[in-house]
Amino acid sequence: MVPEGWKKAPVGTICQSIVPGRNKPKSFDGDIPWVTTPEISGRYIPSYLQKNYVTKSALAECGGKIVPSGAVIMAAVGELGLVAISTEDVVLNQQLHAFVCSDSVQNEYLAYALSAQKYYMESVASKTTIPYLNKANCESIPVPLPPLPEQKKIAQILSTWDQAITATERLLENSQQRKKGLMQQLMTGKKRLPGFEGEWEEVPLSELADYVKGYTYKSDEYSEIPTSTGFLTLKSLLRGGGYSKGGLKYLTTEIEDKFLVKEGDIVFAVTDITRGAEIVGAPLLVPNLRLPQVAISMDMVKLLVKPSVAPKFLYFALKRSTARNFMRSRASGSTVLHLDVKGSKKLRLPIPRDANEQEAISDVMTIADQEIEAIAQRLILLKEEKKALMQQLLTGKRRGKVDTEAA
């Protein structure tokens, strides 16, 4: 059912469809953007990621097609639901598909309508390792079509949300860069906090903490259903370090105290299955999980930090790029990476002798982390609210008279 005055039609019946040529140009020395899926970033193309440009003569030789400015571009292979609008004449590789709007369709509205049809795209795509939409699949995508003025109003409302999301993403990136700069300065002693002038030294990790390996569990002891014993596994780690809130699992059996961790303990991964070795050696500062007890798996080690070391300082030290690179260099394996645990203890870390300075630096870094977390949560909320609003607007459950300020 669609509201009165609306209709629903396959996009191929309301827009001109453009299928890219199959052949790749022999040279890229022109001024017409040759767009591929990885170069689509944001709502418009060409983006800042654009790499290759072609000439009209090179296109003529390979049978390429120019897609006009204002066309709506969608991914037909791989990342289905990825949509952008061309801001100038472009050429697409064969993993993309283009639609040129008729007078009854606004391109900004169509881009939102297509991006909302990801599930439909996945349902009609070829069932191969990488999903693929042929020309008929692309043209069959159903589009709800209100009158043109309402299309423009809907696009305007959703664009306001996109602007807020983009601004928040930029704020998040700036905060992350600022933290990275703080880390480089404060965690190496290049910049000192007021009131501290004591010496720093470079110390191997073996002198800062001892290791305790996690619990080797059986499959019938592992549970997704909450119990009194939380269980931290590789899924509990964010790539690069930190706690992943959705990664907490549970144990159904009694285990020894040595495998338990408490709030403020540091653990890190000793195995990894990510392509870029993004988890091996990555630290996690155990949060308050509000459970009677929490254990770690055999894929992790717990650090028993020496009394002269502030645990949070050590945590931030292990998150620095130099420490991460060292840990990666001590990992080996093909499908699964395994950390040379003994070799990892040779990691040398700069540290102030004054425990008060360690604590003070940790406090600054914690505030920076909290700022980043708050912005990241705001970004998640904005995206969720936009998704819900888009669902309402594109079905007519909420009409184009929406008050943008209230939205």
CATH of domain 199-352: 3.90.220.20
Query: Which pLDDT score, from 0 to 100, does residue 241 have?
Result: 85
Cis peptide before 287 (omega within 30 of 0): no
Query: Which pLDDT score, from 0 to 100, does residue 401 have?
Result: 65
Query: Which pLDDT score, from 0 to 100, does residue 16 have?
Result: 95
- In a 3-state reduction of DSSP, which class is residue 293? strand
C-alpha atoms less than 13 angstroms from C-alpha of 315 in its C-beta half-sphere: 22
Query: Which pLDDT score, from 0 to 100, does residue 407 have?
Result: 39
Ranges of residues in the chain whose predicted pLDDT is under 50: 402-407
- In a 3-state reduction of DSSP, which class is residue 341? helix
Determine how β-strand 229-232 pairs with β-strand 83-86: unpaired
Query: Which pLDDT score, from 0 to 100, does residue 149 have?
Result: 93
Query: Which pLDDT score, from 0 to 100, does residue 374 have?
Result: 96
- In a 3-state reduction of DSSP, which class is residue 362? helix
Query: Which pLDDT score, from 0 to 100, does residue 246 have?
Result: 81
Label each residue of 149-215 as H, E or C. HHHHHHHHHHHHHHHHHHHHHHHHHHHHHHHHHHHHHHCCCCCCCCCCCCCEEEEEHHHCEEEEECE
Supply the pTM of this predicted model.
0.81
User: Which fold is adopted by the domain 146-191+354-407?
Assistant: Helix Hairpins (1.10.287)
Q: 246: which DSSP letter? A: G
Going from N- to C-terminal start, the domains of the chain cover 7-143, 146-191+354-407, 199-352
List, for residues 75-115, the tens digit of each pLDDT value: 999 899 999 999 999 999 889 999 999 999 999 999 999 99
Are 85 and 42 spatial neighbours (Cβ–Cβ below 8 Å)?
no
- Same fold across 7-143 and 199-352: yes
User: Which fold is adopted by the domain 7-143?
Assistant: Adenine-n6-DNA-methyltransferase TaqI; Chain A, domain 2 (3.90.220)
C-alpha atoms less than 13 angstroms from C-alpha of 49 in its C-beta half-sphere: 11
For residue 212, give both structure tokens.
């305790």
Q: 297: which DSSP letter? A: B
Query: Which pLDDT score, from 0 to 100, does residue 400 have?
Result: 62
